[in-house]
Amino acid sequence: MAVKVVTDSVSDLPPALAAECGISIVPAKVLFGTEQFSDGVDITTDEFFRRLTSSPTLPTTSQPSVGDFVEVFDDVGGSADGIVCVTVSSQVSGTYNSAVQAREQATVSCPIEIVDSMQASMGEGLVALAAARSAQSGADLTAVVDAATNALARAHLLGLLDTLEYLQKGGRIGRARALVGTLLKVKPIITVRDGVVNEFGKERTRAKGLAKLREFAEQQAPLEEASVMYTTSDAGLEGLTRALDDALPSGKSPVLTRMGPVLGTYVGPNAVGLAMLTAQR
């Protein structure tokens, strides 16, 4: 038996990569009025953004329930020496608390450890990936938890947004609130620090914003892992991808993935994200 890794859908891990690494994903929920959808299960990303931009009211989100986590823990735990569950930041979501409560209710005999990534999107996803790679190498529960906590200390997440409207109305703007009201045709850049959204900068155009992300990636080199995320369009991301290629070990490429409906609710269309794990010094 081996250690199993679980995360939530806010991680934006591509399903094929999650399956390859043995990571089980617990879906969060997106609600359009009274209609509820499981993130990545019964609503496609294209359909979500079509509805987001055409709906008169913004959707809302809900963390996975305790029962959702119990179901997954019980499913994977029967053939596991232990479970490590990596969650989206507890500072922006109740997902961590759901997982903690589920640990007490799960019927499996193996130990379950819950790790608060203090991140979101692929910032969280790369932490889960580090845990999974450790588990696949045969590491025990303590070592897999250590791999996750070591990774979260080296994780960086930046987002280049078209507008702060969705983040503000969704109540997740955190310490980037100072940007509100100052942005007329300016592209805000946010980061996640101490588990909450912070201001990173602002640029006049998307191209200049992408250049800022590229510059930051180059400053953080060498990297262990990296990902480029987008909501509705991956146009113009070649330069950012090349910069990450240069910063990563030979033979390793950045993960290109779309932000799912939960992140999309808050960052909106035309957003781009950059997630990285700096190499261990």
User: Mean pLDDT in the chain?
Assistant: 91
Query: What amino acid is encoded at 265 in this protein?
Result: T
pLDDT band (50, 70, 90) for residue 130: very high
- CA distance linking residue 254 with residue 213, whole number of Å: 14
Per CATH, which fold does 2-28+63-152 belong to? Rossmann fold (3.40.50)
* 221-235 pLDDT, tens digit each: 999 999 999 999 998
- 158-197: buried (b, 16+ CB within 10 Å) or exposed (e) per residue? bbbbbbbebbbebebbbebeebeeeeeebbbbbbbbebbb
Mean pLDDT over 178-205 rounds to 79
| DSSP code at position 175 | B
Q: What does the pLDDT read at residue 95? A: 97
Q: What does the pLDDT read at residue 184? A: 55
The proportion of the chain whose per-residue pLDDT surpasses 70, expressed as a percent, equals 93
pLDDT at 148 over 60: yes
Instruction: Determine contact, residues 14/255, Cβ cutoff 8 Å.
Output: yes
Mean pLDDT over 154-170 rounds to 84
* 61-85 pLDDT, tens digit each: 999 999 999 999 999 998 899 999 9
Rg (CA), the chain: 18
Q: What does the pLDDT read at residue 175? A: 45
Q: What does the pLDDT read at residue 169? A: 66
In a 13 Å sphere around the CA of 2, the CA atoms on its Cβ side amount to 15
Nearest to 229 by CA among 208, 215, 218, 244: 244
Tell me whether domains 2-28+63-152 and 155-278 share a fold.
no
Question: Where in the chain are the domains?
Answer: 2-28+63-152, 155-278
Per CATH, which fold does 155-278 belong to? Hypothetical Protein Tm841; Chain: A;domain 3 (3.30.1180)
Q: What does the pLDDT read at residue 253? A: 94
- CA distance linking residue 266 with residue 173, whole number of Å: 9
Identify the bridge partners of residue 196 per DSSP, sorted by sequence position.
Answer: 193
* 115-128 pLDDT, tens digit each: 999 999 999 999 99
Q: What does the pLDDT read at residue 173? A: 46
Q: What does the pLDDT read at residue 101? A: 98
* 17-51 pLDDT, tens digit each: 999 999 999 999 999 989 999 998 998 899 999 99
Query: What amino acid is encoded at 168 in this protein?
Result: Q
